[in-house]
Amino acid sequence: MLEIEKYKFAFEISPMPLMLVSDGGNIELTNRHFERLFDYDEDELLGKNVDILVPDAARDYHPILRDAYTRVPTKRTMGANRDLRGVTKSGRTIPLELGLEPMKNGKETWALVVAIDLSARQQMENRMRQALDASASAMIMVDQDSRIIFINETALVLLGYEKNNIMGQNIEMLVPDEVKRAHPVYVGSFMHNRKTRTMGLGSDLYARHHDGSKIPVEIALTPVISGTDEFVMCTVSDLTERVAASDALAEKNTELADLNVDLSQFAYSASHDLKAPLSTIVGLMNVCIEDLDDNNLDEVRENFARIMDIAKRSTEKVESVLEIARAAGKKITAEPVNIETEINNIWMDLAGAENHIQLKLVLTHKDPIMLERATFGVILENLISNAVRYSDKDKKSSYIKVNSHLDDKGLQIVVSDNGIGIPEENLEHVFQMFRRLDERSGDGLGLALVKKQLDRLGGSIAVNSTVGKGTEFTITMPVQEDEAQ
């Protein structure tokens, strides 16, 4: 018979909660720390079965486990790495870690139980977890075998997993397919040379989302050593927004580069088109000087008329260029415009000498529309005068048709003709400044101005054409909300 009295003194001076249990589960001895841990009065537990300290959920099979222990008694720990709980007198459960020490008592094997209260540690762990969950960075900790032993909330959201679907899984499940083969090699080399570093070394790095998509990430690896265990904390930053921003930036850069090319081409075209008339005038002046020397005054008079005509046209051209340049920043007040009247006025100005062409108006609405009157005039005048200029003289009858349609997207106008049409290879150039694609071309500014104005209004223009059949320009422009009277 074990001499319990012999142990009493040792129990009383121990700083740890202690309990002695017989192999039948009878509580033979406890100390004050143990009683306090389970909220019992002094000596209240003596003679009771140890199962009263086991929570309901485990109470049924606890005797079986206890029985098994007495058959193969070993010094061991209970509860480490799993959720072990005890229940107090009042029914409160407390997290525990238990140390079991077998003690021979005659033929029986009793157990000396050391209880460690984990409440404080779990509170600390909870606090730590809450802190890590609050982190904006996704954090994943893996053990030596690349198993996930910790993952914070941010990482779960980023990767699309539920916590219980990912804990204990191999980290490889988060590695994109194309890197899967090589990944264990990288892990091996990191484990050999453990130091904090960034993963990927400047190359594009992706994490695999639960749905299989790839997320651009940056990953920092930090070795964590706890006793003999070696873990790796992976801090994952989501680069989706950064990548999107840098993609947008690259796109803007390309646009700007294109714009620069456009601009230098524009500078050459503009300087040529503005310089050419001056060269012509100089040439004519040289001729005039000769004619003056020869007293050929009639010729001089004729050339002076030519010079004045060229100068006048150049002035108009400069004004057109300025108008295009100003179009970008212009703000004109909208007013009620009756587009039928407007188009008829344009037609009267243009078609005086072109009475063989028929103008057909198909307007699906009659009420005035809130528009910038001058801008609308410039656009329609250019489109209609082009249709007149490129009419097909070989056809029996020529027509220009203007269809208009008003809906919640705005005003749509289609100007079509049965003229000579535009060759396909020229279609993409028709809106370029100074681009004269044909002997009949004007100064190469009309459609450029139309497009600039429509861009400014937030509208659009498109062209469709078949050589020999005709051309169709479709414009759309937003209409101001204010209802016209």
Partner 1 sequence: MKIPVVLVDDNEVDRYVVRRVLSKFEEFDELKESKSGVEFLKEFFNGDEGAHLDDQPLCILMDINMPGLSGFETIAQMEKLAVKGHGPGGIVVMMITSSANPNDRTQAEALDSVLGYSTKPLDKEGAKKIITIYNDFLQDAGYKPKSWPG
Instruction: Tell me: does residue 438 bind partner 1 (CB under 8 A).
Output: yes
Exposed, middle or buried by CB within 10 Å (0-12, 13-18, 19+), for 438? exposed
Shortest Å distance, C-beta 438 to partner 1: 5
Q: Which of residues 151-190 bind partner 1 (CB under 8 A)?
A: none
Shortest Å distance, C-beta 320 to partner 1: 17
Give the nearer residue to partner 1 in terms of CB position, either 157 or 282. 282
Shortest Å distance, C-beta 281 to partner 1: 8
Residue 456 CA to residue 303 CA, distance in Å, equals 42
**CB of 55 closer than 8 Å to CB of 87:** yes
Give the nearer residue to partner 1 in terms of CB position, either 299 or 323. 299
Shortest Å distance, C-beta 441 to partner 1: 5
> Which stretches does DSSP call E strand in 187-255?
197-198, 206-208, 214-226, 229-238
Give the nearer residue to partner 1 in terms of CB position, either 122 or 269. 269
For partner 1 (CB under 8 A), the number of binding residues is: 21
Q: Which of residues 267-326 bind partner 1 (CB under 8 A)?
A: 268, 271-272, 275-276, 279-280, 282-284, 286-287, 290, 306, 310
Give the nearer residue to partner 1 in terms of CB position, either 258 or 290. 290
**CB of 433 closer than 8 Å to CB of 266:** yes
Instruction: Tell me: does residue 93 bind partner 1 (CB under 8 A).
Output: no
Give the nearer residue to partner 1 in terms of CB position, either 157 or 308. 308
* Cα atoms found within 13 Å of the Cα of residue 407, Cβ hemisphere only: 4
Contact pattern from residue 418 through residue 437 relative to partner 1, giving x for each residue in contact according to CB under 8 A and a dash for the rest = ------------------xx
Report strand pairing: 410-417 vs 470-477: antiparallel
- What does the DSSP assignment read for 157-196? HHHT--HHHHTTSBGGGGS-HHHHTTHHHHHHHHHHS---
H or E element in which residue 464 lies: strand 460-466
Give the nearer residue to partner 1 in terms of CB position, either 51 or 443. 443
- Adjacent-strand bridge partners of 59: none
Give the nearer residue to partner 1 in terms of CB position, either 176 or 442. 442
Give CA 349 to chain center in angstroms.
52
Shortest Å distance, C-beta 388 to partner 1: 17
Shortest Å distance, C-beta 238 to partner 1: 48
Shortest Å distance, C-beta 467 to partner 1: 14
Give CA 96 to chain center in angstroms.
48
Helices (H), 294-394: 297-327, 339-350, 373-389
> What are the residues binding partner 1 (CB under 8 A)?
268, 271-272, 275-276, 279-280, 282-284, 286-287, 290, 306, 310, 436-441
